[in-house]
Structure 1
Amino acid sequence: MFTNWPARRHACSSLFCHLHGAGSALLYRVLDAVTSVKCETRRARKQVKVLEALDVAGTQLYHFTTIVIAGMGFFTDAYDLFSVSLIADLLGHIYYHSADGRLPGNVAGAVSGVALCGTVLGQLFFGWLGDRMGRKRIYGVTLKLMVVCSLASGLSFHNKPKCVVTTLCFFRFWLGFGVGGDYPLSATIMSEYANKRTRGAFIAAVFAMQGLGNLAAGAVVLVLSASFKNTAAYDTDQLGQADYVWRIVLMLGAVPALLTYYWRMKMPETARYTALIAKNLKLAASDMAAVLDIDFVSDMDAEAVVKQQDEFGLFSMEFLHKHGRQLLGTTVCWFVLDVVFYSLNLFMKDIFSGIGWFGDAAEMSPLEQTYKIARMQAIIVVGGSLPRYFLTVLFVDRIGRIKIQLMGFTMMTIFMIGLAAPYKFWSKPSMHAGFAIMYALILFFANFGPNSTTFIVPTEIFPTRLRSTCNGISAAGGKCGAIIGVLWFQYSHTSIRSSLLLLAGCNLVGVMFTLALPESKGMSLEDITGEMEEESEPSQESATIAEVEFIHSVEIL
């Protein structure tokens, strides 16, 4: 074949030059036609006009109203989940007569972890139900459950300690069940109402209510413990007064949920659920026109496209191919984040006690100890948590979700190693303030980082019909991490220093899995998921010209 190759190469070159001079115009026309056909056969995006109007709508009062309504669920969530760590020592003093307020290991694990177990199941169940029955309908159910169980938790009366703790754990499990349902529903509702330009900020603002709920828990415990501690009755009946405090703290968790119940029931179903799942474009437009100042145009032409959309399920190969890696990424990132975040929050008092922050607990009265713990938590939240929530709202749509998440995991790792490596160094009284600053910086980058973005991303990158379900799965993965963190601190008997190094390792895992996630800032939800696409058939003329594509080059011998 390669005999006399120089002569053949010369002949081919001469032929190519001749053809190039005589037929270049025709060649380019053929290439243009082929390219045109290929473009026509690509999947073209078809946007429903009501959804397009939502994507480009300016920020309006109803957007802020939705932030408050959805956000109060997270306010209640954080208050209920984190307040128990502040009053756990009171239970130890009252029912187990512990000198330092510590509960027995199995009791402490149950009180701290039972609500998280309920949260996992609630996220899975209500997340799935939100995609089947609608976001609004299930939203009211979770709120009622939270109100009833908050009140019932404070009414756990009995003479025997075991019965009190058992009743408390029972109602806190169902409280967690309701709290879990609020996660995927609140996130999904806010993402489906928001415009594409500020969607990240709106979702982050909803999640920021968690910081206010955490602060409220510390503030309520602070005020109540100070008030009861300074009464005349406290001098003669310390345990009796302390018993009032923990009950009132838990029952007040029902207040914010009650305040928003009416407005939740007045909210219309999201337009994306009505249009893309219920497939009622007319109702979707009328619902949005009732609450937003936008002109919605009739879009009957899109009905056929909506009805023809793929209906692949969660366990289908198509979902695995399109979104499987993304679901694994969001779940693992949320898992390792909550191992760290809940460990740092629920066992904050133990970590600070290890460096002698509170002094000798055995020498303090129950409410005095609780007062100091609540004061410390309030300082940490104000100094480290709250500022990051506002920074996330400001920058998440400018910097991007993935960059913020990578930055957060990385900085948490650095500061956590900074606490763990010289842990004994921080036990010096003169270094306590420095330890608190470093701890606050960890929480700062947790919140201006993965604690926010792990909540935002799953609400944007999955199809509408599976959005609430996938958010619930991702969130449930996170709460499984929280349970593991609680059990680790409670039962491992590992030193605080070793535990902090382990948590730093979790952050590094989060960095790796974050790289598997797509950036979603500034895009329509339908652009991100690709769910509103239709096949465009090429015209007959283009198809005829496209036959040239099957003309292959023939070797010239």
Structure 2
Amino acid sequence: MASHGISVLNALDNARTQWYHITTIVIAGMGFFTDAYDLFCISTISKLLGRLYYFDPSTGKPGKLPHSINNLVIGVALVGTLIGQLVFGYLGDKLGRKKVYGITLVLMCICAICSGLSFGHSAKGVMGTLCFFRFWLGFGIGGDYPLSATIMSEYANKKTRGAFIAAVFAMQGVGIIFAGLVSMIVSKIFLDYYEARSSSGRNLFSPEPEEDYAWRIVLMIGSLPALLTFYWRMKMPETARYTAIIEGNAKVAASDMGRVLDLEIEAEPEKIAQFNSSNEYPLFSHEFVRRHGRHLIGTMTTWFLLDIAFYSQNLTQKDIFPTMGLTSKAETVSALKEMFETSRAMFVIALLGTFPGYWFTVAFIEKIGRFYIQLVGFFMMSVFMLTMGLQYDTLRKKDHKWTFAALYGLTFFFANFGPNSTTFVLPAELFPTRVRSTCHAFSAASGKAGAMIGAFGIQYYTQDGDVGKIKKAMILLAVTNLLGFFCTFLLTETKGRSLEEISGEDGGVAEAQMTGKYPVSQSDNWEETRNYL
């Protein structure tokens, strides 16, 4: 269906896949690569920080971050991400997608470098400085969520839009792989150096001054991918939908997209003015709630429930990694060896379980649809987590290590070939242009609230390693996923339709879908609407 016959919007919806689509995926995707690298690399170095800064010579045992400090170091970025999502999501609708898009990248680059330069006269000083910069790093990362999704959705054509948005998000999987890989390489270099000059009398757990460089290098490398794409991010034109629909500048929108698509596009200011006048209702007005309230509740609840489970999935790592021979007990290895083994474990799990799920979504989202992928993902996650919870005692034994690994990997696979991808895609498609970035931000921030429950609440409950508690937690997570399955029914399928058609900005198709009432003004499209519904 045409978007009120507006040429620039129709040109975007029906454009063949071109080079600018690919460059947009790379530019936006590299931001997500950086996001994932920066958020997940802390898991590979947190134990090294404990070894370096909390070693007690009087005990001779490996140092360990106090639980409160560990939570702060890992969790402060999540808090920053939640706040950044809300702030930059709102600014993306008020100031423009492009204007604030560069700010997020600069913030990520600066704070990644500064995190590696954390300083202080004591362990608390270094940890405090690190937490300060990781909060602002998370703040910049948060902005990338709504802006990248919105920009990609507004640039893409309607036939491949879901695959393109999912491809941007799939770079998160690549970032996780590289977080493990870079940490492996850096720790291995330092490890080989120390083994070459080791003395037999040295305490295995006593920190060496040079080890302090390892975690700093890992953190600072996170700035490089974002720096490489900064120029191209700044060269991107504002999305035509923002320029035309929010700024009301039909001429600039037609000119920008005409240049990108290599087409002659008519400006049509009168049509755009008429289009805008029929879609001026503000966020949380009665009209917004009537049209989109159910969808906003759906995107927020499903992302919230997903991230509780997704960020709790490492509950079983302490058992599965040693069972698979990926890690050793802390009391038997040096700090760098422990970092190497933790990084290797992350790399293997990401490569075999996490990474494929993202790209299965890219491959099948336009064939299967967002709705069914999300339903299947939630359901399968629930099945696998319930199985692990009920059979945890048996699975922890060496004889069942491959079954344990398979269940663990499949849970990651169906998280990513499922709600972890679709909860990112759907908020970028369901809402009107004027509030698209803000609504995506609300949904993403709801997810980060769930992540904090998983990272702090559930993991705090199981921190003592009690098997009974872990079993209860896994069963609870299975129920959480099942709730996500049912909340998905608040949403609707979006594949193959224009953004204006999905949101109802075009005059009533989405309205017809929700109410069953077909406006007279759309009578010429009666059959098309009926056939779709």
| TM-score normalised by structure 2 residue count | 0.89
Find the aligned partners of 1:483 and 1:400 in 2 and give their Cα distance: 29
Find the aligned partners of 1:82 and 1:458 in 2 and give their Cα distance: 24
In the alignment of these two chains, the number of paired residues is 495
Residue from 419, 429, 433 that aligns with 2:402: 433
Find the aligned partners of 1:251 and 1:368 in 2 and give their Cα distance: 21
Q: Which residue matches 1:208?
A: 170
**Alignment pair present for 1:382 and 2:351:** yes
Q: Which residue matches 1:140?
A: 102
Residue 281 of structure 1 deviates from its aligned partner by 1.1
Q: Which residue matches 1:275?
A: 244
Change (3 A) 1:359 1:286: same
Percent of aligned pairs with the same amino acid: 53
**Alignment pair present for 1:235 and 2:209:** no
Residue 101 of structure 1 deviates from its aligned partner by 5.1
**Alignment pair present for 1:70 and 2:28:** yes
Residue 292 of structure 1 deviates from its aligned partner by 2.0
Segment of structure 1 superposing worse, 193-202 or 311-320:
311-320
Conserved 8 A contact 2:249-2:269: no
Residue 348 of structure 1 deviates from its aligned partner by 6.2
Segment of structure 1 superposing worse, 352-361 or 278-287:
352-361
Q: Which residue matches 1:515?
A: 489
Residue 257 of structure 1 deviates from its aligned partner by 0.8
Q: Which residue matches 2:392?
A: 423
Q: Which residue matches 2:300?
A: 331
Find the aligned partners of 2:69 and 2:343 in 1 and give their Cα distance: 21
Find the aligned partners of 1:201 and 1:480 in 2 and give their Cα distance: 27
Residue 266 of structure 1 deviates from its aligned partner by 0.1
Q: Which residue matches 1:525?
A: 499
Residue from 52, 59, 62 that aligns with 1:94: 52
Conserved 8 A contact 2:37-2:176: yes
Q: After superposition, where does 1:277-316 map in structure 2 within 5 Å?
A: 277-316=246-285
Find the aligned partners of 1:101 and 1:473 in 2 and give their Cα distance: 40
Find the aligned partners of 2:312 and 2:30 in 1 and give their Cα distance: 24
Conserved 8 A contact 2:31-2:144: yes
Amino acid at match of 1:178: G
Q: Which residue matches 2:158?
A: 196
Conserved 8 A contact 1:219-1:378: yes
Conserved 8 A contact 1:92-1:102: yes
Find the aligned partners of 2:337 and 2:416 in 1 and give their Cα distance: 30
Superimposed CA distance per residue, residues 252-299 of structure 1 (whole angstroms, 9 cap, x where no aligned partner): 111011011000000000000001000111100111122223332342
Q: Which residue matches 2:19?
A: 61
Q: Which residue matches 2:9?
A: 51
Q: Which residue matches 1:452?
A: 421
Find the aligned partners of 2:147 and 2:43 in 1 and give their Cα distance: 26
Conserved 8 A contact 1:380-1:436: no
Q: Which residue matches 1:487?
A: 456
**Alignment pair present for 1:350 and 2:318:** yes
Segment of structure 1 superposing worse, 396-405 or 412-421:
412-421
Residue from 383, 404, 423 that aligns with 1:414: 383
Q: Which residue matches 1:79?
A: 37
Residue from 100, 115, 128 that aligns with 2:90: 128
Q: Which residue matches 2:67?
A: 105
Residue 314 of structure 1 deviates from its aligned partner by 1.4
Find the aligned partners of 2:134 and 2:351 in 1 and give their Cα distance: 27
Segment of structure 1 superposing worse, 377-386 or 142-151:
377-386
Q: Which residue matches 2:438?
A: 469
Which consecutive residues of structure 1, in runs of 5 or more, have no partner in the other structure? 1-42, 539-557
Residue from 482, 498, 502 that aligns with 2:476: 502
Q: Which residue matches 1:253?
A: 222
Residue 490 of structure 1 deviates from its aligned partner by 4.0
Change (3 A) 1:456 1:351: farther
Change (3 A) 1:134 1:44: closer
Change (3 A) 1:51 1:490: same
Superimposed CA distance per residue, residues 218-243 of structure 1 (whole angstroms, 9 cap, x where no aligned partner): 00001111110000477367532331
Find the aligned partners of 1:180 and 1:348 in 2 and give their Cα distance: 27
Superimposed CA distance per residue, residues 511-538 of structure 1 (whole angstroms, 9 cap, x where no aligned partner): 0100110110000000000113299998
Segment of structure 1 superposing worse, 317-326 or 73-82:
317-326
Residue from 315, 321, 324 that aligns with 2:290: 321
Conserved 8 A contact 1:44-1:533: no
Residue 351 of structure 1 deviates from its aligned partner by 5.0
Find the aligned partners of 2:225 and 2:456 in 1 and give their Cα distance: 30
Change (3 A) 1:264 1:376: same
Change (3 A) 1:266 1:441: same
Conserved 8 A contact 1:356-1:427: no
Change (3 A) 1:360 1:275: same
Find the aligned partners of 1:509 and 1:325 in 2 and give their Cα distance: 16
Amino acid at match of 2:133: F
Amino acid at match of 2:241: R
> SS where residue 198 of structure 2 aligns?
helix
Conserved 8 A contact 1:93-1:239: no
Change (3 A) 1:129 1:341: same
Change (3 A) 1:437 1:125: same
Amino acid at match of 1:64: I
Change (3 A) 1:307 1:418: closer
Amino acid at match of 1:399: I
Conserved 8 A contact 1:88-1:108: yes
Find the aligned partners of 1:412 and 1:308 in 2 and give their Cα distance: 44
Find the aligned partners of 1:286 and 1:239 in 2 and give their Cα distance: 60
Q: Which residue matches 2:147?
A: 185
Conserved 8 A contact 1:147-1:253: yes
Q: Report the structure number with the largest CA radius of gyration.
A: 1
Conserved 8 A contact 1:105-1:490: no
Change (3 A) 1:509 1:537: closer
Find the aligned partners of 1:155 and 1:141 in 2 and give their Cα distance: 21
Amino acid at match of 1:62: Y
Find the aligned partners of 2:73 and 2:16 in 1 and give their Cα distance: 45
Amino acid at match of 1:143: L
Find the aligned partners of 1:238 and 1:252 in 2 and give their Cα distance: 23
> SS where residue 303 of structure 2 aligns?
helix
Conserved 8 A contact 1:351-1:496: no
Which consecutive residues of structure 2, in runs of 5 or more, have no partner in the other structure? 200-205, 509-517, 522-533
Residue 315 of structure 1 deviates from its aligned partner by 2.2
Amino acid at match of 1:188: T
Amino acid at match of 1:172: R
Segment of structure 1 superposing worse, 155-164 or 77-86:
155-164
Residue 144 of structure 1 deviates from its aligned partner by 0.7
The alignment's C-alpha RMSD in Å is: 2.1
Change (3 A) 1:537 1:88: closer
Amino acid at match of 2:128: T
Conserved 8 A contact 1:121-1:180: yes
Residue 356 of structure 1 deviates from its aligned partner by 8.1
Find the aligned partners of 2:450 and 2:197 in 1 and give their Cα distance: 40
Amino acid at match of 1:73: G
Find the aligned partners of 1:281 and 1:262 in 2 and give their Cα distance: 26
Conserved 8 A contact 2:118-2:126: yes
